[in-house]
């Protein structure tokens, strides 16, 4: 709109134009009105198209998001199924599955290298390439077994991570007979401590012998005494010079075997992507003060099993496959020679052992209020 038209339009509004000029302005206004109508129609269509386009784009974005989410969920579900199948095959197959073998190796390592300590009630489960094994760590003081800690094991296939959470004693529990010959290591403090304890208590005692005993010999000595043997320390044949420096970490077997290599009742359970075994512990039948050969063989079976699963038991027993091979070879050649034991019972009955020639030295462990057999 130029200045001349603006001027004529203003004059038209004031009625100052001639009839001819007024008619010309009216025609121009009609043309402008036609242009405006066409413009409004065109812009309206474009505006609706723009709205439709935005709606289409928005729907496309949400559709893409749902498709991506569905793809991710599908991959996760497929991965979960694949990992579950691999888990079941890895831990569940075999004449003896790893689900049974791994806990068995752990229990053997605890039973043979931790005096008066064993794995009590326990359970294992496997899911998504991992196997978890958890159990109570228990010891016997008097007639009762009490929980003193927990065992937690996690396996990523054949890679173990095992933690024994309990208060471990730092004293040397046993001495060899050769070390006690000169009398320097004979400690009578245990006698004084037991004398100071009142009647109506039970105690735990770590005894080192002045000589070696076979299993049957030691059991016959303990028969008819009002006490209970708990764990036997077995000679594994280190050099005498090494013995004079420090005793090797003890290795031995419990009086009541965990029955790891006998037939025991095992409950299996399965479901979905999960399966497991549960065990409440067990024992097999032996003569209370005999069956030395059966006990010795069970001990050797545990050592052989630990050797087979050395990668698992090393963190518990601190014995390599080479160490275990040497221990087994010595025991098989020389027999089971016991040089110490853990025993429990009424405090005053334990004190009577001070008069026995075969008691070379002793250490008092835990003490509890009376909980002995009637």
Q: Compute the Cα dihedral for 328, 333, 339, 342 and give only its sign.
A: positive
Q: CB–CB of 357/210 below 8 Å?
A: yes
- Could you report the per-residue pLDDT of 103-148, keeping only the tens digit for each? 889 999 999 999 999 998 888 887 788 888 888 999 999 999 999 9
- Could you report the per-residue pLDDT of 9-54, keeping only the tens digit for each? 677 677 776 767 777 767 776 777 666 666 666 655 555 555 555 5
Q: Which of 223, 227, 357 is nearest to 291 (CA)?
A: 223
The mean of the pLDDT values for the chain is: 79
The span from the CA of 210 to the CA of 182, in Å, is 11
pTM: 0.72
| Contact partners, residue 267, CB within 8 Å, separation at least 6 | 277, 278, 279
Q: Residue ranges of the alpha helices (H) in 93-196? A: 98-113, 177-180, 189-196
Q: Six-digit token pair at 97?
A: 């599955």
Sheet architecture: strand order including 359-369: 252-254, 228-234, 338-346, 201-213, 359-369
Q: Which of 251, 229, 227 is nearest to 238 (CA)?
A: 251
């Amino acid at each position: 709109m130029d200045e001349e038209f603006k001027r004529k339009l203003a004059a038209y509004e004031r009625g100052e134009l001639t009839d001819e000029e007024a008619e010309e302005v009216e025609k121009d206004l009609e043309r402008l009105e036609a242009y405006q109508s066409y413009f409004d129609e065109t812009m309206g269509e474009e505006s609706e198209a723009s709205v439709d386009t935005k709606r289409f784009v928005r729907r496309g974005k949400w559709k893409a998001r749902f498709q991506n989410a569905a793809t991710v969920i599908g991959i996760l579900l497929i991965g979960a199924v694949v990992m579950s199948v691999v888990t079941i095959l890895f831990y569940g197959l075999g004449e003896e599955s790893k689900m049974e073998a791994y806990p068995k190796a752990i229990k053997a390592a605890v039973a043979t290298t931790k005096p008066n300590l064993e794995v009590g009630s326990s359970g294992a489960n496997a899911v998504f390439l991992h196997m978890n094994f958890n159990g109570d760590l228990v010891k016997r003081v008097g007639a009762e077994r009490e929980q003193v800690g927990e065992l937690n094991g996690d396996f990523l296939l054949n890679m173990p991570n095992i933690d024994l959470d309990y208060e471990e004693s730092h004293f040397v529990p046993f001495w060899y007979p050769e070390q006690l010959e000169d009398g320097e290591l004979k400690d009578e403090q245990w006698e004084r401590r037991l004398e100071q304890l009142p009647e109506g208590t039970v105690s735990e005692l770590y005894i080192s012998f002045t000589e070696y005993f076979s299993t049957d010999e030691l059991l016959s000595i303990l028969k008819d005494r009002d006490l209970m043997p708990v764990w036997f320390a077995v000679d594994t044949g280190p050099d005498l010079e090494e013995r004079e420096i420090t005793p090797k970490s003890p290795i031995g077997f419990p009086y009541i075997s965990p029955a790891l290599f006998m037939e025991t009742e095992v409950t299996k359970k399965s479901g979905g992507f999960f399966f497991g075994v549960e065990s409440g512990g067990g024992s097999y039948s032996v003569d209370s003060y005999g069956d030395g050969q059966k006990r010795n063989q069970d001990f050797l079976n545990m050592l052989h099993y630990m050797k087979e699963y050395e990668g698992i038991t090393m963190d518990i027993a601190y014995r390599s496959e080479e160490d275990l091979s040497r221990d087994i070879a010595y025991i098989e050649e020389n027999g089971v020679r016991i040089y110490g034991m853990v025993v429990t019972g009424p405090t005053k009955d334990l004190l009577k052992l001070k008069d026995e020639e075969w008691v070379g030295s002793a250490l008092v462990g835990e003490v509890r209020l009376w909980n002995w057999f009637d």
